[in-house]
Chain A
Amino acid sequence: MSTFNTSREEIAIVSFVELSPAEASQLDEIETIQTIVSRATDGAGIARDRIGFTVSGSCDMLVGRPFSWIMAMDGAGVSKPIEESHVEMDGAWALYEAWVRLQHGDIDAALIYCFGANAAEDLMQVLALQLDPYYLAPTGINAAEVAALQASAMLASGATERQFAEVAVRAGLAVSVEAALAEPYLHRPLRASDLPRFSDGAAAMVIARGDYARSVCARPAWIQSMAHIADGHSLGARDLSKSPSLEKAARLAGVGAKATQIVEVHAPFGPQEVIALEALKQAGLSADAKVNPSGGTRAAQSVMVAGLAAIGRAASAIHRGEASRTVGHASSGPALQHNLIAVLEERS
């Protein structure tokens, strides 16, 4: 297998914005896109005519309507033709497509946006539609129960519920480890504080090349590398207590090549954060890297947005001068099946 994961062109995240759940819940999709796109471009001093590629991420099944992103695109102000794409994936993969596009060196900047209107439905049920339609979905298992199977596999291989509780405290979903452990089980061994709190959300990002990046951003977050890998799907064919795909993506992206100060992990269910951090550690992540200093995405999880948000927050830490090397992680699918890693650096 030949893979090249390091940026050949100098490409940086120069702008990132996300809507608060409160804000997102007040806006329809077009207004949402209009708001985040204008903040990420105009608001950051980036001229729209320098954007050579636009790509979005969203999922029809969340909106409950086919082609849902088409109307939403009106909010991006597309009144003349643009070069554009859409992925039926978290915005983090839209970022990946944009990063690939910029490697060609012919355009200066790309706009990425994503949205997930998901406060209104039973997301655990909707997410179960991702399962194999012949062998898994007909069992009626939902997404939380899949996560519970995974957590059980972890306990069987040595993890503890105390570890899960520590993650819940870090995510702001429990006041203390003891309080978390005192909660009743919802889906044994998962408790309420192990589950994500779904909310509406949206995020937008601009990435740019070389001198243009430097001209619009005081401290660009240079994308040193990106890689993503999927595990197989069938739950019975995987060791659910591990994430080989995340470990491999992190190795390909060279996470361990230098010291990292901050890692923003996107693990929808608490125990998955334990798996993700172990995989990252195996791939050489610095032991003292701060985990989710942004608070993480679980307290207000917007499906299709949370992955890009984790990477965006890792970039923002560099923009603010709080770190010189950060790692952003996005995940997708049942039991953390698909994982993406972006390594971001400050350069003088």
Chain B
Amino acid sequence: MKQRCAVLGIGQTHHAAKRGDLSMSGLVREAALRALDDAGMTFDEIDAVVMGKAPDFFEGVMTPELYLADALGAAGKPVFRVHTAGSVGGSTAIFATHLVTSGIHKRVLTLAWEKQSESNAMWALSPKYPFSPPTTAGAGGYFAPFVRAYIEFTGAPEHIGWQVAYKDRIHALKNPYAHLQMPEITIDMVKNSPVLWDPIRYLETCPSSDGAGAMILVSEDVAEASGKKVAWVHGTANRTEAILYPRRNQVLPQAGSDCAKALYKEAGITDPKREIDTAEIYVPFAWFEPMWLENIGLADANDGWKMVDSGDTMLGGRQPINPSGGVLSSNPIGASGMLRFLEAAHQVRGTAGEHQVEGAKKALGHAYGGGSQYFAMWIVGAEKP
């Protein structure tokens, strides 16, 4: 038996390359307090805390949810830690949702964070596996061949990547929390930026950020008693596949499309291209926008880049993608999925501020991780499911 769940509170930090003004505890607390304030609640009212973040190697603290319990008012409460690579912010929100939909808790604080300035992500993302030559190329080196393959398969022109990079930085100018604020951005700047991992250019790449995102997820009765506008969870889904197996499509992974299908089924969506007003999808390198649009059925096969080219994915376009500026503008890795989910919730509550998509009723949040093998998604709506 399944209960309804709603997003009552949303909070995030001001993301930056280095939040030298905050400790890790300060960082998570900034997001948590903003979410509580938004929900009109205090720590005392929270039943459980569900935290996500990417590898502990980024900050060098093992299972930091234990030490952070103090900062989150969680002593005497259940504290939970999810870790599913880059998708973790999404997976964390999904488990928190399940705590409500199962009827176990009524008020859950879910939070995801990363303080990348404490470490070197290139190092932490270049693990040395037994029997494999070390690439020491970070995530960009790992994903560049997938991007090249997408370009080869679809014949997409080179400027698509520049366009996505430009669009998300323009969107970020409307989001005061976004890390990159580049009013001077032009397509030429992206085009002329150096190639980091062929074909990915510097400005087609996400930044390294310190940041956290938090949500207060509540049961239906709590949502209604609050008298506030909430985002209703219409569906959640996650899918995982192994990193290597014969005939694996790493460009358009089956786990991604299976996840989207399961999600649409649960949310009662039959035509995602029309029924979803806006989506926040996990795009750490510009080319992943057209790839994921195809993977989750917002564009037909080979058409993702055309959707970008037509301007459909700009704010004001047919289906704005990443109106917040997305991962390309802020990437506190473990939090990035949570930010996608909470930005989707902002949109259907009508609280996104300057980057609000007019009249958004249904929005999708998406996160992926590992070698394009972990997917977590949700759909939130302005109306009850």
Contacts and interface: CB of A to CB of B under 8 A. Distances in A.
B76 A100 contact: no
A200 B60 CA distance: 23
B129 interface: yes
Given A333-B63, A338-B66, A87 B83 contact: yes
B75 A87 contact: no
Contacts of A332: 63, 66
B78 A83 contact: no
Given A66-B57, A78-B240, A89 B63 contact: yes
A332 B69 CA distance: 13
B342 to A, nearest CB: 19
B242 A73 contact: yes
A86 interface: yes
A265 B254 CA distance: 42
Contacts, number: 198
B85 A85 contact: no
A198 to B, nearest CB: 15
B67 A71 contact: no
Contacts of B237: 83
Contact of B61 (A79, A129, A234): A129
Nearest to B82: A87
Nearest to A128: B62
A337 to B, nearest CB: 6
B57 A130 contact: no
Given A66-B125, A100-B104, A134-B23, A229 B76 contact: yes
Contact of B77 (A67, A132, A229): A229
Contacts of A231: 69, 75-76
Given A2-B106, A81-B239, A129-B60, A233 B245 contact: no
A337 B60 contact: no
B239 A84 contact: yes
B6 to A, nearest CB: 15
Interface stretch (B10-18, B33-41, B91-99, B196-204): B91-99
Interface in A301-346: 332-334, 337-338
Interface in B82-135: 82-85, 91, 94-95, 98-99, 101-107, 124-125, 127-130
Contact of B74 (A97, A227, A230): A230
A184 interface: no
A22 interface: no
B82 A61 contact: no
A347 interface: no
Contacts of A248: 76
Contact of B56 (A60, A73, A82, A237): A60
Contact of A100 (B1, B99, B238, B242): B99
Contacts of A28: 130
A80 interface: yes
Interface in A93-122: 93, 96-97, 100-101, 103-105
A66 B66 contact: no
A225 to B, nearest CB: 11
Contacts of A337: 66, 69
Contact of B47 (A1, A78, A93, A132): A1
Contacts of A82: 239-241
Given A100-B95, A100-B104, A334-B66, A245 B76 contact: yes
Contacts of A86: 82-84
B56 A70 contact: no
Contacts of A66: 54-58, 124-125, 127
Given A81-B255, A82-B239, A228 B84 contact: no
B101 A104 contact: yes
B57 to A, nearest CB: 5
A258 interface: no
B356 interface: no
A63 B102 CA distance: 34
A100 B258 CA distance: 22
Given A104-B98, A129-B62, A230-B74, 14 more contacts: A2-B107, A66-B54, A81-B258, A82-B239, A101-B98, A103-B98, A127-B62, A137-B61, A228-B78, A228-B80, A230-B66, A230-B69, A230-B77, A245-B76
Q: Which 10 A-B pairs have the closest CB atoms?
A: A232-B75, A66-B55, A84-B240, A103-B102, A129-B62, A81-B255, A88-B83, A61-B62, A230-B79, A81-B239
20 contacts: A28-B130, A59-B63, A60-B57, A66-B57, A67-B55, A67-B85, A67-B370, A69-B83, A70-B371, A78-B242, A79-B245, A81-B239, A93-B81, A97-B95, A100-B98, A133-B61, A229-B77, A230-B79, A332-B63, A337-B66
